Amino acid sequence: MSAHRDRTDLDPIDHVALSARDIAESVAWYTKTFRCRVAYQDATWALLDFGNLKIALVIEAQHPPHVALGRADAGAFGVLETHRDGTRSTYVKDPSGNAIEIMAVD
């Protein structure tokens, strides 16, 4: 049992990104339905803080739906791009074609 409780040696999930047809409409629904906080919002994406995870709402034409993991060696997965919020990451695909964002953890 104790092995399941100590997770300090596991990679952290930074956020899960879900597709949204309309960012403002989706933000309104999430904040009305759940206890969360808007960390960032514009017309093309939003970031919602929950107690243990962040959910990004994305327009699929700009960002694929994905899971974002933090890694100190993120650059080993590909060229890191700097995003408008200052984070740096690269995207890879898992064997089933799902998008995985590898975020630099400093």
- Using a pLDDT cut of 70, give the percent of the chain over it: 93
Domain boundaries of the chain, sorted by first residue? 11-104
Contacts of 25 (CB under 8 A, 6+ apart): none
Q: Which CATH class is domain 11-104?
A: alpha beta
The predicted-structure confidence for 89-98, as pLDDT tens digits, reads as follows: 999 999 999 9
The reported pLDDT for the residue numbered 1 is 45
Mean pLDDT over residues 5-19, rounded?
Answer: 86
> What is this structure's pTM?
0.84
Q: Contact, 103 vs 70, CB < 8 A?
A: yes
The rounded mean pLDDT for the chain is: 92
